[in-house]
Amino acid sequence: MDKKTQKQMAIMVDALQPHCDEEIIAAITCSHAGSISSVLVSKFMGGAGGGTKTSNLPNPVFIAVGANTIYAFQYAPRGFKFKIKKEVARWPKDEVSVVAEQTGTMANFVMTTVSGDSYALEIPTVMGGKELADLFLQALGASQE
C-alpha cells in the first residue's frame, strides 16, 4: 500500500476510533448505491440532483471495521476532517456477509446481516480511490463478484 493510501485510511480511522469500542482496522465514507451516479446524471440533465435511498442508513454514511464489529455513523465533512454526529448502527462482523463488485468508477458492495437486512453502498474509485476501497473491502471480508 502506498503512503498516500495509508495516510487517507489513517485520517478516517482516527476520526472514528474514539467512537468505537475496539480497535478500528479500516474506515471509509460511502453513499447509498446509485446515489452518486443519480446526482451526476440529474445535474447533467439540468435537475437539482437525486438522492436514491437504499436503506435506513444516512446518506452518506461512515463505516468502520473492527476485528469483531462493523459500525455505521452519521457524519458531516469538515474540509479534510470529519464531524462525527452519532452512531446509527452496529453489527457483529461474523453476522454480516459482504459481496463487492468493481465498476469503472465505483466499488459497489452489499452488506447483508443474518436477520436479512441489506445495505447496498458505493465508494468512488476515481483519483486514486481504488486502492483505498480495496483495502476497506478486504477488511470487511468482502467476496468479489
| CATH code at position 57 | 2.30.29.30
Total-model pTM: 0.84
Sequence-distant (≥ 6) Cβ neighbours of residue 96 within 8 angstroms? 70, 111, 112, 113, 114, 140
Q: Which domain holds residue 8?
A: 3-144
pLDDT in tens, the chain (145 residues): 689 889 999 999 999 999 999 999 999 999 998 865 433 333 333 443 344 445 689 999 999 999 999 999 999 988 778 999 999 999 999 999 999 998 888 999 999 999 999 999 999 998 778 999 999 999 999 887 6
Q: How many helices (H) does the chain have, and how many strands (E)? A: 3, 8
- Alpha-carbon distance of 26 to 16, in angstroms, equals 10
Sequence-distant (≥ 6) Cβ neighbours of residue 141 within 8 angstroms? 93, 98
40: amino acid identity, one letter: L
* Structural domains in the chain (count): 1
